[in-house]
């Protein structure tokens, strides 16, 4: 995995060498993408592509692009108007370094630059690039991450009365986190040669793994070490709906384990599935 992470980091470095004006905006734009992280989404793109016989030259631009999009979401998440978090990955959040105005625009820039990178991925045929853009724009936008954030905010303000906490937390986790993880594996698969049935299976793997990922994040916000997390535990402060709050800590861990097993069941029959199986286990077993 380390060689793939290094390749993704190098690709993002190369993107950051493109001419951007002014220089301070360029610094803000790439501060968060280059601040580290596990690169889980990028790895999912590459490993899913490999499972369907895509090569690294095809998947690398997509992997890097999704990391740019993920970075945009983190920048906006940390803003005072959202989670009001001062740290990300153990470093000052983007808005603490560059100010709220530049951080907001850096997030906007990364969001759109993501699709520019994908559209210029010349080693993937145009029809596949269109499919990738369809999946990613839906799952990162109003069909996924954005609407998940909207419901998260409204539920914290108690503006969605009449909906049960279980229904709300399930919706938030599915859309705010899991949909982007789902898009990562589907976009990687599209780089190769999957059948329609294959795509349905990998999409389910991504959704189950993605919800499990956020459940564990919720649990670590209760029992984890802030130094390891690289950020403050803000869920309680922000009145955020979480799985431990709704289901209890023990039940939440059990649900994450069950989702991991469901994800693995979707892909275990594929010849090159072991790395994705390992990722699903890593997602649930990290820091436990």
Name the domain count of the chain: 1
| Locus of tokens 């909207």 | 150
Residue 24 sits in a domain whose CATH number is 1.10.600.10
pTM, two decimals, is 0.93
Q: How far is residue 101's CA from residue 146's CA, in Å, rounded to a whole number?
A: 20
Residue 186: count other Cβ atoms within 10 Å of its Cβ. 25
Q: How far is residue 276's CA from residue 208's CA, in Å, rounded to a whole number?
A: 13
pLDDT of residue 256: 97
pLDDT of residue 234: 57
Q: How far is residue 269's CA from residue 278's CA, in Å, rounded to a whole number?
A: 14
Residue 30's domain spans which residues? 2-285
Q: Which of these, 120, 122, 115, 157, lies nearest to 137 by C-alpha position?
A: 115
pLDDT tens digit at each of 288 positions of the chain: 899 999 999 999 999 999 999 999 999 999 999 998 899 999 999 999 999 999 999 999 999 999 999 999 999 999 999 999 999 989 999 999 999 999 999 999 999 999 999 999 999 999 999 999 999 999 999 999 999 999 999 998 888 988 999 999 999 999 999 999 999 999 999 999 999 999 999 999 999 999 999 999 999 988 866 555 555 555 555 568 999 999 999 999 999 999 999 999 999 999 999 999 999 999 999 876
Strand partners, 92: 87
Q: How far is residue 68's CA from residue 59's CA, in Å, rounded to a whole number?
A: 14
| Parallel, antiparallel or unpaired: strands 87-88 and 91-92 | antiparallel
Q: How far is residue 186's CA from residue 181's CA, in Å, rounded to a whole number?
A: 9
Three-class DSSP labels, 168-233: HHHHHHHHHHHHHHHHHHHHHHHCCCCCHHHHHHHHHHHHHHHHHHHHHHHHHHHHCCHHHHCCCC
Structure tokens given for 2: 């380390």
Q: How far is residue 174's CA from residue 125's CA, in Å, rounded to a whole number?
A: 30
pLDDT of residue 225: 60
């Amino acid at each position: 995995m380390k060689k793939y992470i290094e390749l993704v980091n190098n690709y993002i470095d190369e993107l950051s060498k493109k001419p951007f004006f002014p220089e301070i905006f360029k610094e803000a734009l790439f501060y968060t993408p280059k601040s580290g992280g596990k690169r889980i989404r990028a790895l999912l793109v590459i490993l899913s592509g490999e499972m369907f016989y895509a090569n690294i030259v095809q998947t690398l631009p997509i992997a890097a692009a999704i990391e740019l999009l993920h970075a945009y979401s983190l920048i906006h998440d940390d803003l005072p108007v959202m989670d009001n978090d001062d740290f990300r990955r153990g470093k000052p959040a983007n808005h603490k370094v560059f100010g709220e105005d530049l951080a907001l625009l850096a997030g906007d820039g990364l969001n759109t630059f993501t699709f520019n990178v994908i559209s210029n991925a010349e080693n993937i045929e145009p029809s596949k690039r269109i499919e990738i853009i369809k999946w990613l724009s839906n799952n990162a936008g109003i069909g996924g991450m954005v609407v998940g954030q909207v419901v998260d905010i409204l539920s914290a303000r108690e503006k969605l009365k009449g909906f049960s906490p279980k229904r709300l937390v399930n919706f938030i986790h599915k859309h705010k986190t899991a949909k982007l993880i789902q898009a990562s594996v589907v976009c990687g698969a599209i780089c190769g040669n999957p059948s329609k049935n294959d795509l349905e299976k990998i999409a389910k793997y991504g959704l189950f793994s993605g919800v499990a990922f956020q459940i564990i994040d919720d649990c670590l916000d209760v029992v984890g070490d802030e130094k390891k997390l690289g950020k403050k535990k803000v869920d309680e402060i922000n009145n955020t709906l979480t799985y431990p709050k709704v289901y209890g800590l023990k039940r939440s861990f059990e649900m994450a384990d069950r989702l991991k097993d469901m994800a693995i069941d979707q892909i275990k029959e594929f010849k090159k599935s072991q790395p994705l199986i390992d990722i699903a286990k890593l997602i649930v077993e990290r820091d436990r």
